Amino acid sequence: MGLRDVRVLLLYPPVQTAPGAVCKPNGSLAYPNLAGALRAHGVDVGIFDACVGADGDPLEEMFAKPVPMPNGFLRTGVSDERILEVVADADIVGITSIFTDHETMVLRCARLIREAYPEKILVSGGVNARSRLSRFVAAGFDAVCLSEGERTIVEIVEAVRRSPRPDFSAIHGVAFPDGDGGVRINPTRSQDVVWDLDELPMPAWDLMPNPRYWKIARPHTGTYEPGVELRYAQMMTSLGCPFHCAYCHIAGEQEGSLSGPIGKFRVKSDERVLAELDTLKGLGVQHVFIEDDSLLGQKRRGLRLLRRIQGAGVTIADVNGINILHLLKRWKPDHEVLEALAAAGFTQISLPFESGNLRILRKYASNKLNIEMADIKSLIIAMKEYGFRIYGTYMMGYPDETMEEIERTLQLARDHISWGLDAASFLIVVPLPGSPLYDMAVAGATSPRTSTRTR
């Protein structure tokens, strides 16, 4: 029997938000990365973001008039009928679930598609899907990618090309129904991880609904003038992180885990990063958000890269990947790094302070910053002198945190504002699936486990 043609559609679900919250499209890098890998393999692939729709969908109306949901949240996006129309011609539908707050809509879309098109192959992936396998299989998913999916999705496509009822048993890094009401898991091996990131195909940013994102102008972070088009895109220059914080999924992505050791810090070459910037500029992008978990995880490499991208012709903001430790040298501002960031085009930087308590940072945040020794006042003043807009993020509600420690964090934020910080945001510590804190909460433990584990 010959191989059949297969079409893949990667679907971002509609977005649900709490009343009063600002709805921001998902638009994660998962789909341009996967689509790039599929396209390089010769597969017919498309991307549809059901939050913003495509040409002909009423963009302004959807965002101005979100639909109330039974759970009290508001839904922004196209109708169920429109989703079914878009997926009709696809053989495989991929629905990512990286973020926990997207799970409800991901599972809803899966059930919707499974009921209307029982023959279609439904695939998911992302840390949330990996951590909630039984729910995703019960919702109708045929396969869940357990790790970085650029290679796995190609193997899944090849299995579907061979048979409309594919056998995934020979694929590593995937989970699927075992036929007896359970889930079969084929863990990721170390050799399945992409260690040389330059081997990854170029992301297919051109398949994204970029003009609609730019019109809405609601990126994940930063502050921008309302109603003004923002020609932005996201990219990553590295994967993984040198830190293993208890509230982050990376702490669990080690050797022996379902995902394999994808938490290990890996970088793209300078040439690859420059090529990606050129690709984005060719699409009309003017603002680039760096989504690295630790842009300066290798400080010498980071400095070299920053100098290489000077004059790239775009403004750059960092979402969450500038660790404060890397902006310091002997606990004072590292002006070499700050100057390189400014010269490379960075305009806005988020500073993850995490807590105002050294005990908390040591126990839950990899001991990555000694706030008692670091001269944060001088750092904030220096960053403002370089022209950065800087935002601080602070977390409260750690499992054994005291009220006195919470107040200390609040006072730290007040001090930072008085020294020139542009804004402070406060996050409640939540044990999200995939993080050691989640395992700790389920086990009823009092201390996080950040060592290697296999579920």
User: Residue 188: what pLDDT?
Assistant: 93
Q: Count the Cβ atoms, other than its own, within 10 Å of residue 34.
A: 28
User: Tens of pLDDT along 401-449?
Assistant: 999 999 999 999 999 999 999 999 999 999 999 999 999 898 886 666 5
Assess if residue 198 is contained within a domain. no
Do the strands 346-354 and 389-396 form a parallel or antiparallel pair, or are they unpaired?
Answer: parallel
262 three-state secondary structure = coil
Structure token digits, residue 407: 């107040």
User: Tens of pLDDT along 234-247?
Assistant: 999 999 999 999 99
Do the strands 44-49 and 67-68 form a parallel or antiparallel pair, or are they unpaired?
Answer: unpaired
In this predicted model, which residue has the larger pLDDT, 450 or 87?
A: 87
**Can you give the CATH number for the domain in which 348 is found?**
3.80.30.20
Q: Which residues contact 343 (CB under 8 A, 6 or more apart)?
A: 306, 307, 310
User: Residue 225: what pLDDT?
Assistant: 79
User: Residue 423: what pLDDT?
Assistant: 95
| 24: containing domain | 7-186
Give me the number of domains the chain comprises: 2
Are residues 290 and 170 located together in one domain of the fold?
no
Assess if residue 122 is contained within a domain. yes
Are residues 125 and 272 located together in one domain of the fold?
no
Q: Is the dihedral of CA 154, 38, 278, 319 positive or negative?
A: negative
CA 407 vs CA 47, 67, 191, 357: distances in Å: 46, 38, 47, 10
Structure token digits, residue 329: 């040298």
User: Residue 454: what pLDDT?
Assistant: 33
Are residues 178 and 243 located together in one domain of the fold?
no
User: Residue 444: what pLDDT?
Assistant: 83
Assess if residue 206 is contained within a domain. no
**CA 128 to chain centroid:** 11
The pLDDT mean for the chain works out to 93
Q: Please report, in angstroms and rounded to a whole number, the separation of the first and last CA atoms in the chain.
A: 38
Helix (H) / strand (E) element for 440: namely helix 436-443
User: Tens of pLDDT along 249-294?
Assistant: 999 999 989 999 999 999 999 999 999 999 999 999 999 999 999 9
